[in-house]
Amino acid sequence: MVEMLERKEYGPFVLASLSFVTGIIAGCGAYLFRSLIALIHNIFFYGKLSIVYDANIHASPSQWGMLVVLVPVVGAIGVVYLVRNFAPEAKGHGVPEVMDAIYYNRGIIRPVVAVVKSLASALSIGTGGSVGREGPIAQIGSAFGSTLGQLLRMSPWQCNVLIAAGAGGGIAATFNTPLGGLLFATEILLFEISVRTLVPVVIATATATYIGQLFFGTYPAFKIPALESPFFQLDNPLVLLAYVGLGIGLGVVSTIFIRAVYGLEDLFENHFPGNDYVRHITGMLLVGVMFTALQMYSGHYYIEGVGYAAIQDILTTTLQGAGFLLILFVLKLVATALTIGSGGSGGIFSPSLFIGASCGGAYGIVLNSLFPGLGISAPAFAIAGMAGSVGGVTGAALTAIVMIMEMTLDYSVVIPVTITVAISFGVRKLLCRESIYTMKLARRGHLMPEALHSNIHNLKKAKEIMDTRFCTISVNLTVLDLGELIRNTPEMHWYLIIDQEKVLGLLSREAALEAAHFKIDSDSVANLPGLNYIVVTEESQYYNIITRMHLANASGALVVHGEAALPSNVVGIIGVEQIADTVFQSAEFFPMVTGPK
């Protein structure tokens, strides 16, 4: 890992160029990762070398027969070996580790994570683990962005922008959703929403989407024949109430999903005998039994891998039995919790889509049988269910809405999907404060921000926050005289040491009191250790002031009228107390967020 000892801040053109490169790598990485999954899947399921694999089409039965239950076990051994020996960060669904790097590790992700995550997740997915490929691709893109930032010794905020750009680009390339990738980076990863952060991410997601289209085509993620006549005919307002019910149900389902994943993780780690190998082998053996039983009963594996073929069946009404869809929902939830909880590597985006589609489809089928006159379409509720599940589970509500719109290319989904996502997100938040991403970090004591606030205090100018309670003292003043002056001027908080027309030092009242108490009375104030300070003008803004103070390791700032730092031009002092007060005053603009109980 490259140590980031000296940080540099590059100009917008350089950052944009690096974002473009990151987008290219994210797009190419998506193709290579999917090819690796295909290769592993074909080797382990069919014993052949091939990268031809379409996840939207059901996999044909394996030539191994019943022995296919051991395929996930073999994959589990490889996953544990990679994670234990090379990169523990590659364990799990990936995105929390990216968030952790941004907020708690100054944007540093080890380069080896990209390689290990690629291999471990490809093994998990390719051998039948019930996880998605989007989380790993996001982590792979992020690792490249971080590595680029480390090599160039970029400032932390620019390194973090490249991390978000890599993750957003990976999501965009995978789903052919440039806006979805942008919103994913914005909602989940970006620490600030501004031109300087959004433009690089836009460049990366657009570039990655284009690269992805070169490899995968320009089609939406799921092909829905009924798109020629839009699903959502809302002539009857009562149909909207049905989406309210779906949102409530999915909020509960999202909570169950989150609790199941971390509940099984605790079960395997704290109450299951054996080491990591035994735990993950056991979990994946159960997953293998589940999808093999499904294949024997129904003719398809359904829940193995990303599960897109099953989602495609729901959207094209190939699967029309509500009871069977609910069985698939339960099995997919359990299989995903077993895969991740026992130590697998892969994302939760695809399982969330599967769970939402199966729940929404079953709900729509039941409603249509109960109220045939409403003209309810089960695929319509499946699409809304996909968005509601993703929004509830991940906490990325806007991403869920826009991505489903991009996946279906049908703008008429906006109203029903928005209702479903908003209610699902709200219900899940009431039942479980943390999303599946933030829960992992909260469990290790790393809390994530609840919202991105406008920093109103950054708009304050120096003249609005400075302290005018200061006076000047001569460099020839003794410490004894300083002590007398302090007693006679209780209203003064700062003392400016001057020599004719020069400012030689700055003392706070606390520092002056300490000096008067401990120093020899005949000492000159010129020998006292003063505070490091910078000079700013009255019009300087808060953010620029604290940035300069940080870079100069200064504890104070002299506010001057004009440009010259002459004693006669000093009109105020800014110290730590003034900086803190400014932040405190801005708190009234935001609602109180209660912490964990």
Token pair of 381, please?
């509720």
pLDDT band at 453 (very low <50, low <70, confident <90, very high): low
CATH number of the domain at 456-587, out of 3.60.15.10, 3.40.980.10, 3.10.580.10, 2.60.120.650? 3.10.580.10
Amino acid of residue 443: R
Percentage of the chain lying above the pLDDT 90 cut: 49
Q: Which residues share a beta bridge with 507? A: 495
Specify the pLDDT at position 322: 93
**Domain segments of the chain: what residues?**
12-216, 225-442, 456-587
Provide mean pLDDT across the span 34-63: 92
Provide mean pLDDT across the span 548-565: 84
In this predicted structure, the answer to whether residue 123 has a pLDDT above a threshold of 90 is yes
Domains 12-216 and 456-587 belong to one CATH topology: no
Specify the pLDDT at position 595: 46
Radius of gyration of the chain (CA): 29
Least confident span in 32-36, 269-273, 351-355, 420-424? 269-273
CA dihedral of 42, 43, 49, 51, whole degrees rounded to 10: 40
The 10 Å Cβ neighbour count of residue 590 is 12
What does the DSSP assignment read for 483-546? HHHHHH-TT--EEEEEETTEEEEEEEHHHHHHHHHHS-TTSBGGGS----EEEEETT-BHHHHH
Q: Is 374 exposed, middle or buried (0-12, 13-18, 19+ CB in 10 A)?
A: middle
Most confident listed range (72-86, 98-112, 183-197)? 72-86
What does the DSSP assignment read for 59-90? PPPPTTGGGGGGHHHHHHHHHHHHHHHT-GGG
Q: How many angstroms from the chain centroid is the CA of residue 587?
A: 25
Q: What is the mean pLDDT of the chain?
A: 87
pLDDT tens for each residue of 217-256: 877 666 665 544 455 555 667 788 899 999 999 999 999 9
pLDDT band at 596 (very low <50, low <70, confident <90, very high): very low
Specify the pLDDT at position 592: 52
In this predicted structure, the answer to whether residue 457 has a pLDDT above a threshold of 90 is no
- pTM metric for this prediction: 0.83
In this predicted structure, the answer to whether residue 5 has a pLDDT above a threshold of 70 is no
In this predicted structure, the answer to whether residue 494 has a pLDDT above a threshold of 90 is no
* Fold adopted by 225-442: Clc chloride channel (1.10.3080)
Specify the pLDDT at position 519: 62
Which CATH architecture describes the domain 12-216?
Orthogonal Bundle (1.10)
Identify which has the larger pLDDT, 531 or 154.
154
DSSP secondary structure letter of residue 227: G
pLDDT tens for each residue of 517-537: 666 555 777 777 777 888 999
